[in-house]
Structure 1
Amino acid sequence: MTGLDVKKVRADFPILNEQVNGQPLVYLDSSASSQKPQVVIDTISKYYESMNANVHRGVHTLGTRATDGYEKAREAVRRFINAQYFEEIIFTRGTTTALNLVAHSYGDMVVNEGDEIVITEMEHHANLVPWQMLAKRRNAVLKYIPLQPDGTLLMKDVETAITDRTKIVSVAHVSNVLGTINDINAIAAIAHSHGAVMVADGAQAVPHMTVDVQALDVDFYAFSGHKMVGPTGIGVLYGCRKLLNQMEPIEFGGDMIDFVGLQDSTWTELPVKFEAGTPLIAEAIGLHAAIEYLESLGMDNVLEYEHELTHYAYDKMSEIEGLEIYGPGPTERAGLITFNLEGVHPHDLATALDADGIAIRAGHHCAQPLMKWLNQSSTARASFYIYNTKEEVDVMIESLKKTKEFFSYEF
């Protein structure tokens, strides 16, 4: 037993009362986007009802309330990931925007012809395409750390891939397809030994485990609010203050301006330097509520419960003949299972499960190079979070068996 009261947690999420196709909703797609507790919904509504105004501009009461709420959200993020300085927390539209900011601003500043950028084949497109484009812009070399057959990394391969020509290493903390949990701290140590910076895609890690950016020794770390019971449209880039001060913004206008002349302009200080235009005020305040909600549960409890649930699901799914699971074993993976069922296309499988009220993901999961590595065009994925139960896993298992039987029947 874990310290998580799942029955109480489920009561906090109003959407779990929904029915889909006449069946109780079984939501197993939290790796794509998590559901929202009532406290987050209410917090966003309260912002619009009682403090809606722009931030950092007006001196009137509503503007002061909004600014106070916005900056308290930044401090909450800083505390949640244990960044050293509040200036190191940049609000973005999401993980994708954050990684693109690093690739364009820091990447264009330091990467030159012949330099290396090192990533892996397990990366989400958001942590792959920006580095492809940077390599093309700067005529640099994009290198891949090879994967083991179970979708994990060996440190000896990391050491081989990273050289003195490497300027940037960027790796997912947790794979959104394989569930692989990468040793970011060890990779960062190797990167730093060669003078490279370490970037981590934390979209699948921050919602599910304690993340300490100082302990990880990363230079940049990106994640999204909507995967951690927060609102859509808000994300975070953590960046080392020293590096952020050296970087140029890539969007211009609004509050990030210090002085504007007819021919030249200067920028304000961190963190606002990277937050052009009207910022994501309601979303940041909603994210603050999400962080406080997760903190009330305890991230160690979250991780322990998800591990228990995933192990249960992994064992049950492994018993289904013709079902192939991708990635490491149940004790080495995060709370998701990507799989295929022999003879059933993943989209047909997802449609069949949806008829039973079960939401899973099917497709390439924004990881087409990884699909090629798996020798699959697409896969199905069930992902678990704080509000899922073993009973829901059992419902999915029965639906999978029924679907397999249906597609095996020879008409």
Structure 2
Amino acid sequence: MQLIDKLSILADAAKYDASCASSGAPKRSSRGKDGLGSTNGMGICHSYTPDGRCVSLLKILLTNFCLYDCQYCINRRSSDVPRARFNPEEVVTLTLDFYRRNCVSGLFLSSGIIRSADYTMEQLVEVARLLREEHQFRGYIHLKTIPDADPALIALAGRYADRLSVNIELPTDQSLQTLAPEKNIGSIRQAMHTIHTGEQNVRDEPRAPRFAPAGQSTQMIIGADATDDSTILHSAQTLYSHFKLRRVYYSAFSPIPNSPGSVPLAAPPLLREHRLYQADFLLRGYGFQADELLKGPGDLALDIDPKLAWALNNRDLFPLDLNRADPSLIARIPGIGLRTTQRLVELRRQRRIRYEDLTRMRCLLDKARPFIITSDYKPSQAQCSSEYLHQQLRDRPQPQQLGLWA
């Protein structure tokens, strides 16, 4: 098979893995004769990371052959999709060629399981080793970790990669046992623990060799089973707490050709995935707990965002006087973010906050107005009804443009 044909198959097969953001990668310079692949160079990047840099990644699988028969996966053993496999040298060639064409500045590499977990992990590590040691590649490398692989191989991967990820796949142990019985939740958590230990060792000993400086991430598939959003968010909260993950990614289940009867035949609403990302951001950035966003079992509301839903369920806390309120509560006001909260706190050290200050700071006043008090503004009683606000502030579906002959 020609290299271009392999690339077509294995790039398409990698699109189902969402956990490939590159935030947290260290800045490196490629000045000098021994450097290649700076992650902060100009003109070579096509997507922005949360820390403001542009990094585009070559996102491929080493192979889509797989020993496992996970029911939700298009590359499962029983699937009839076209198969292909790169050797490590071919992945290295592609990465360097795409870099020299200013198409990418990094690599995201995952794989199906071939021969054994250890063999597959050895192949992934060899790609990273060749790039780093043979070609002095200083670009971003994200390796998908094979859970059952020897911890020594995972530790070696952390020496070469900027980020490692171990996909937990499904939110509950029961779902994993039902849809992917060949996988072991214990080995997945053990791999996460190995990576977390490597990160801790570097933090505790500054002279220790580098280890996955961009941390680790994971992915959950949403809608492949009946797990509700409350369980999903509690699972994510546990992962953040126990393993200090940088991100949990959520991927709406996509029905695949000739799907088995054990998985749904229809995809969940993409808006559900979006609400989970919003809720996850509140967990990571705003200090929310999963129990605050969803009290008891159930799903997040689709018509309003989780922050607004929380505010409507806690009307006794509002409206807040911006000149007196604790900053942590100000950040929880719908339409006001963390950066704006910091600016408001700095401003009120100089003078009292007025309504026009919020306009100048470009707050989302349609959402914030019913929840705030300033020196010259206070919402009326009629504006404070939760039912009224739910109707007024809910997201309206975007109108669809009709075709010319509709």
TM superposition score normalised by structure 2: 0.27
Q: Which has the larger radius of gyration?
A: 2
> Higher strand share goes to which structure?
1
TM superposition score normalised by structure 1: 0.27
